[in-house]
Each structure stands twice: as structure tokens, then as C-alpha cells.
Amino acid sequence: MDYSFDINSLDDLYQEVILDHYQRPRNKGVLTNPDISSKGFNPFCGDEIILSIKLDSKGKTKCILFDGQGCSISQASASMLTELLSNKNLDELKSISYSFRAMMRGESLSSGEMSLIEGLEVLEGVRKFPIRIKCALLAWAALEDGIEEYSVKVLKKEP
């Protein structure tokens, strides 16, 4: 592993947009009667994200809130998730989540995939801090778990 990063990598990590989402989180709270609710917890650092999602009659996201505590990266990523994912169906949510994961793994994305995760590119700087990638993915892992649980319990799909 190469530990000789360039000086600018802290700026890559703490981009203005990220700190903005951290300090002024969007859609923060918990829904009382969510269709999907899920919790992500990182035992390594104690970061916690709770997602609650309400779907409309067509199965599209009507309202997404997040709650939780933790570092700037985990909280900003969750806040950005709630903004990006409004008015999408479950398959779209999954595609976005997988594309985001692929970007964080350093895979090259098609232009279609890039457009799915528009706005999340600012989190790519986290890749220079491998230990922090988990922080960026925490909310997304919670999202995937929540969709999985909803599919099995409510939609009765095979897991």
C-alpha cells in the first residue's frame, strides 16, 4: 500500500459539498409509518444510519428520511442519498446503489451509470482513504438491506 498521498487529498475528501451536507443535512428524521426501514451500523467506529422510506401507490419513493450519527462522510453520504433517490422505483434504487458501489470500488462506469449517480462523484475522493470507504457506503448498505427485507416480507420475492 502506498501511503505517500498528495497533499491535496484532504481537500478531495472534505469537499465543500460534502461538508455542506454534513453541517446542513437534508431530509433528516424518522417516518412514523414507513414501508421500508433499515438500520446500518458500523461497529468499528460506531457510525449509525437509520433510513425510512414511504412508497406511493406505484411503488415509487414518495419520502425518504435518514437519521443517525457519525462522521462527516457517513452522514453526508446519507443526506445525498435521500436527495437523489426521490421518486424512483425499487429497481432504480438498486441500480443507483450498485453504480455507486462500483464507483467506490474504482471501476469505470458507463455514461448511463454515471448519470444515475449524478452528484455523488464528490464522494470519489474518499477512495484515497480506504478505511473511510465504509463510511461512504453505510447508508447504501442500509438501503440495500431495507429493499431486500421489503422484497421478501411484503412482495414475497425469493431472497
- Residues forming the site for another protein (CB under 8 A): 3-5, 9-10, 13-14, 16, 19-20, 23-24, 44-48, 69-74, 129, 131-132, 135
Contact by Cβ (8 Å): 66, 78 = yes
Closest to another protein by CB, 69 vs 86, is: 69
Closest to another protein by CB, 9 vs 87, is: 9
Closest to another protein by CB, 98 vs 129, is: 129
Closest to another protein by CB, 14 vs 98, is: 14
Closest distance of CB 25 from another protein, Å: 11
Question: Rounded to whole angstroms, how far apart are CA atoms 119 and 82?
Answer: 12
Question: Rounded to whole angstroms, how far apart are CA atoms 12 and 96?
Answer: 22
Closest to another protein by CB, 36 vs 126, is: 126
Question: Rounded to whole angstroms, how far apart are CA atoms 6 and 129?
Answer: 12
Closest distance of CB 68 from another protein, Å: 9
DSSP-derived letter for residue 15 is -
Closest distance of CB 15 from another protein, Å: 9
Closest distance of CB 129 from another protein, Å: 6
Closest distance of CB 96 from another protein, Å: 25
φ/ψ of 65, rounded to 5, equals -120, 150
DSSP letters along 107-159, please?
PPPPHHHHHHTTTGGGGGGGGGSGGGHHHHHHHHHHHHHHHHHHHHHTS----
